[in-house]
Structure 1
Amino acid sequence: MLLRFRVANHRSIRDECELSFVSASAGDSVARATALRDHGQEISVLPIIGIFGANASGKTNLLRALFDMRDAVRTSFAEWATQPRIPRQPFKLAPASTDETTLYEVDLMLGANPVRYTYGFELSDERVEAEWLHAYPEGRRVVWFDREADRPDAEGGEFLFPRSGHDSSHGFLGKRDVLVSVTRPNALFLSTGATLNDPQLAALHRWFVDNLWMVTPGQDVKARSEWTQRMLSDPKRGKDYRKWLIELLSIADLGITGIDVDRETGEVALRHRSSDNSDLALDFVGEESLGTHSWFAFLGPMLAVLDAGTVLLVDELDSSLHPTLAAEVVRLFQNPKSNPRGAQLLFTTHDATLLGSAVLDRPLAREQIWITSKKTSGETELYPLVAVGPGDDEDLERGYLRGRYGGSPRVSVGEIARALIWIETERDREREAKAPA
């Protein structure tokens, strides 16, 4: 389960930004209790965070940063050696940022008897400048390893491990010297250790491999639809997925009564109720609507994440879903009965109705709402709505659209139209000035 994410110097994010799933409200109805404690207080974790903000304010960059951290952990050992430089995207609007490191860090909760872990690293173009992994068994920090390039105290090289006492017995117990010797400067120690089958590091590495599924507007809906179709052909879970899909497709009021799956090809046909009350199967590719394709393509990743208890990243939740469906997706993750394995959803959106309206009861608690805004320097600023301090009875949708919390375009009513009218007026004047007397 994801507790916290920290990033700096990634695309439009220059200064450090931190996103937290940890609930600050004791007894919040949507937060999930955990076995973790902090200063004697039980830690509760939110199943959902929604990020609101204007176009180009950095919402997508935040999701991309988390996904890029995942890619780094998965690929640094096998692929970075073949590339001219470490793949990263520092902030470009300040030349000094190119020479500064890019930072990623996550706090996770792993294991049947949950333990909190903090893992992070800093990258330059040439190498891993720093990397660290700390565990918190029984709530007490234990350093598994700390890595720092050009460490002033070079007695132990760039890696430091606990030497003795409580920390060493609860810390990293793997073949340290062997793993250090084969870890390239431009590869993560975590990736190296997991590739060489260290059991402790493999468990954390597996979280990155299995988590952080990402759905974006730019992805091919056809490819995701085909992936959902393959789920239906899974001999282990296909029947379950079929039941879930039929129910969710029906809820969307698409007139669907069933699903046929060709055993040989895996192709799907959706059955619809006809005017004479019989079922009629339509060709999925040629006869189903774009709306059906979008919802069907979204359901595959969503059901897989709910089934596995992992994390789903969705950029622009409202781009392919009607506001009512988007709200139902949020409620699906919020409800412990429909989300019994503690899956999490992190999404971006422009849909202010999710903040509460006369049409939709607000599906998000206030502490689940985060906002991105862009400074005049082009940097992204990230903050929770509760930091702005809206009143208990305040209409959040109206307040957001009016710019009370930031994160909305600085455009006055009619400003775009006035700008175009001014341009046309200037053109008319130029034409009149050039016309012969």
Structure 2
Amino acid sequence: MLLRFRVANVRSLRDEQELSFVVPEDEEGATARRLSLSDGKQLPVYPVLGIFGANASGKSNVITALKNMRKAVLRSYADWTSRDGIPRDEFALDAKAAAETSFYEADFVMADGVRWTYGFELSDRRVESEWLFAYPKGRRQVWVDRDASREKPFDFPGERLQDRTLLARTTRSDALLLTRAANDGHPQLTPIYDWFRQNLWDVTPETERPQREAYTVRRLMESEESRRRVEELLRVADLGIAGAEVEHDAQGRPLVRLIHTGNGEQTVLDWEAESFGTRSWFALIGPLLLALDTGAVLLVDELDSSLHSRFAAEVVRLFQAPWVNTKGAQLIFTAHDPSLLRTPGGGRLLEPGQLWLTEKDQRGATELAPIADWEPGEEEDLMASYLAGSFGAVPKVSEGQVGRRLLRTDETARMEAEEV
């Protein structure tokens, strides 16, 4: 499970920002899971984090930064070259940022309960630093300590790591040691690499939908049990769908058609006739089931952009419910819709520690913080307080301001035309 993610100098995330699944000491609600660690202790962890904020406040950049870290771990050895340099996407509104490193760090717990911290700093041409710490008995063990400014960049305190000399000699200055080691199947480091490979899966509802639709179709064909689960999620969404059927075209490619009910009759529609909302929900089902089945961390940018708020809330509930989410899967999503802060009955869908807000400062840099930092009351309506601006992170636009600005612009243009 992912515990924390830290990042700096990536897109609008200029200063170091932290996103944490760890439950604050004074806030352990019904949604928290108790994670057993290898040292015998238990750590309360949230299964879901939601990131809210105004347009262009940096919500999506948090998701992008997580994707960037995963891609760096998986592809640095193959994709980064001395000719092209290292892709960084540093903060663009400060000329000094280009000369500073981009920073990534993740804390996570493996299946055996051991907590790990892995991170690195990148410049345009080399990996400036890289580190890997383990906490098997609650105390930090340093496995990798890399600093490009030293005469010997690599240090392996405690000599716990196998093939240290080989790794130090064969890891390029512009590639991560973790990637290099995993490419040769290093027995100790490959499981760390695999954690990134099997987590931080990205779902953006408005892009790559055909691929996700195709994956959900494969889940339909996988087994009778898998088909039943997909069809149940289609039915529970109240789209008037009774089931699905899969055919194959002349080239043998699978084609799905959904069975709709109405007036006591069933109608099978061609896929192109389905609504955007239905196709978006169908495309999300496959990744949802995959994450729940494997206990993965799923990233969904703009969860509410193509789904009704009720569907979006149900996605959250899937991860919150321990009887459904039995493998400890986690969800990070961004959204605009404030109704996700409240259940239809007026309660809280998410706890204050699960709700994170993005807001840009005067420099255009994103600041990320949980609503818990404002210490809302136990009975406080989080949606009402958010919309009232009590936590910030809402557009600074008064009622009618957009129309007045547009009218003023039109009047100015008319006056300038008359002067000419």
Q: TM-score, normalised by structure 1?
A: 0.91
- Give the 3-state SS of the residue equivalent to 2:13 in structure 1: coil
Identity among equivalent pairs (%): 48
- Give the 3-state SS of the residue equivalent to 1:44 in structure 2: strand
2:124 aligned partner: 125
**Is the CA contact 2:206–2:306 (under 8 Å) kept in the aligned structure 1?**
no
Q: Is 1:161 matched with 2:135?
A: no
- Name the CA distance, whole Å, in 1 between partners of 2:351 and 2:255: 40
Deviation at 1:93, TM superposition (A): 0.8
2:141 aligned partner: 142
1:228 aligned partner: 216
| CA spacing shift, 1:386–1:360, aligned 2, 3 Å | same
2:368 aligned partner: 382
What do the CA deviations read for 1:127-182 (whole angstroms, capped 9, x no partner)?
0000000000111111111000122xx4xx1111124xxxx4xx32x111111111
| CA spacing shift, 1:106–1:230, aligned 2, 3 Å | same
Structure 1's consecutive aligned runs of 4 or more residues displaced over 6 angstroms after TM superposition are: none
**Is the CA contact 1:233–1:266 (under 8 Å) kept in the aligned structure 2?**
no
**Is the CA contact 1:353–1:360 (under 8 Å) kept in the aligned structure 2?**
no
Deviation at 1:393, TM superposition (A): 2.4
Deviation at 1:82, TM superposition (A): 6.7
Q: Is 1:326 matched with 2:294?
A: no
What do the CA deviations read for 1:280-309 (whole angstroms, capped 9, x no partner)?
32222x222222111101111111111111
Q: Is 1:205 matched with 2:193?
A: yes
Residue identity opposite 1:257 in structure 2: A
Q: Is 1:241 matched with 2:191?
A: no
Deviation at 1:402, TM superposition (A): 1.8
Deviation at 1:44, TM superposition (A): 1.1
**Is the CA contact 2:276–2:306 (under 8 Å) kept in the aligned structure 1?**
no
| CA spacing shift, 1:409–1:48, aligned 2, 3 Å | same
Residue identity opposite 2:114 in structure 1: V
1:283 aligned partner: 270
1:408 aligned partner: 394
Deviation at 1:278, TM superposition (A): 4.2
**Is the CA contact 2:343–2:349 (under 8 Å) kept in the aligned structure 1?**
no
Of 242, 247, 259, which aligns to 1:257? 242
2:33 aligned partner: 32
Of 274, 277, 293, which aligns to 1:307? 293
Of 171, 175, 193, which aligns to 1:183? 171
- Give the 3-state SS of the residue equivalent to 2:385 in structure 1: helix
1:108 aligned partner: 108
Deviation at 1:358, TM superposition (A): 5.4
- Name the CA distance, whole Å, in 2 between partners of 1:358 and 1:227: 32
**Is the CA contact 1:357–1:397 (under 8 Å) kept in the aligned structure 2?**
no
- Give the 3-state SS of the residue equivalent to 1:23 in structure 2: coil
- Name the CA distance, whole Å, in 2 between partners of 1:227 and 1:396: 36
**Is the CA contact 2:108–2:117 (under 8 Å) kept in the aligned structure 1?**
yes
- Name the CA distance, whole Å, in 1 between partners of 2:253 and 2:12: 45
**Structure 2 residues not aligned, in runs of 5+:** none
- Name the CA distance, whole Å, in 2 between partners of 1:20 and 1:31: 13
- Name the CA distance, whole Å, in 2 between partners of 1:409 and 1:415: 12
- Give the 3-state SS of the residue equivalent to 2:304 in structure 1: helix
- Give the 3-state SS of the residue equivalent to 1:262 in structure 2: strand
Deviation at 1:328, TM superposition (A): 1.0
1:64 aligned partner: 64
- Name the CA distance, whole Å, in 2 between partners of 1:256 and 1:361: 30
**Structure 1 residues not aligned, in runs of 5+:** none
Deviation at 1:274, TM superposition (A): 4.4
| CA spacing shift, 1:261–1:218, aligned 2, 3 Å | closer
What do the CA deviations read for 1:376-419 (whole angstroms, capped 9, x no partner)?
11100011111122222222112111211111111111111111
- Name the CA distance, whole Å, in 1 between partners of 2:362 and 2:345: 35
What do the CA deviations read for 1:228-267 (whole angstroms, capped 9, x no partner)?
1122233xxx323211111111111111111212365322
**Is the CA contact 1:370–1:384 (under 8 Å) kept in the aligned structure 2?**
yes
1:267 aligned partner: 255
- Name the CA distance, whole Å, in 2 between partners of 1:66 and 1:192: 20
Please report the RMSD computed on the Cα atoms of aligned residues, expressed in angstroms: 1.8
- Name the CA distance, whole Å, in 2 between partners of 1:71 and 1:215: 15
Kindly name which structure, 1 or 2, has the bigger radius of gyration based on alpha carbons: 1
- Name the CA distance, whole Å, in 2 between partners of 1:321 and 1:218: 11
Deviation at 1:357, TM superposition (A): 5.9
Greater shift, 262-271 or 248-257, is seen at 262-271
